[in-house]
């Protein structure tokens, strides 16, 4: 709803003769997917900037790479979310599931193992053996940050 005014000039461009040719070539559905991906990326970036500045490793190559990959992740999220929640589908569990499908793997992937972890079977210390307190804190932070960013993206 708020997206349409933002993309109004884009719609005017598509209604022009070259725009109609492009639409015929790539198709309306693909253009809507581009629109959803770009909108999600822009919205997610609004939430991503203040959260990313809280990262103690900010302004390092690792930090920049992770932000770049998050932007790509949000773009894909926007396209997938568009297809998962078509108009007329009022299933909140589906919407939450799509958000969770992007947030949880990212949060777990970003956990850095402490040096005291031992392999086979993985043991990293208290409280759970598999997950240490520092690892759990990282998961909680990444779940929070991801939930905020992806919630803003849709």
Q: How many alpha carbons fall within 13 Å on the CB side of residue 89?
A: 12
Would you place residue 10 in the very low, low, confident or very high pLDDT band (cuts 50, 70, 90)?
low
| Neighbour-count burial for 79-101, b at 16+ CB within 10 Å, e otherwise | bbbbebbeeeeeeeeeeeebbee
Using pLDDT thresholds of 50, 70 and 90, give the confidence band for residue 99: confident
pLDDT in tens, 36-69: 888 888 888 888 889 899 888 788 877 887 888 8
SS (H, E, C) the chain: CCHHHHCHHHHHHHHCHHHHHHHHHHCHHHHHHHHHHHHHHHHHHHHHHHHHCCCCCCCCHHHHHHHHHHHHHHHHHHHHHHHHCCCCCCCHHHHHHHHHHHHHHHHHHCCCCCCCCECCCCECECECECCEHHHHHHHHHHHHHHHHHHHHHC
């Amino acid at each position: 709803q708020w997206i349409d005014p933002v993309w109004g000039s884009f719609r005017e461009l598509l209604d022009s003769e070259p725009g109609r040719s492009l639409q015929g070539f790539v198709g309306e559905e693909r253009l809507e997917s581009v629109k959803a991906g770009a909108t999600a990326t822009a919205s997610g970036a609004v939430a991503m900037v203040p959260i990313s500045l809280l990262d103690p490793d900010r302004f390092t190559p690792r930090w920049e790479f992770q932000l770049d990959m998050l932007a790509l992740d949000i773009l894909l999220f926007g396209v997938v979310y568009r297809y998962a929640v078509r108009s007329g589908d009022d299933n909140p569990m589906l919407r939450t599931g799509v958000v969770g499908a992007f947030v949880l793997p990212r949060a777990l992937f970003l956990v850095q193992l402490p040096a005291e972890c031992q392999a086979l079977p993985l043991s990293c210390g208290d409280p759970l053996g598999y997950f240490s307190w520092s690892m759990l804190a990282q998961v909680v932070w990444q779940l929070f940050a991801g939930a905020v960013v992806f919630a803003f993206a849709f």
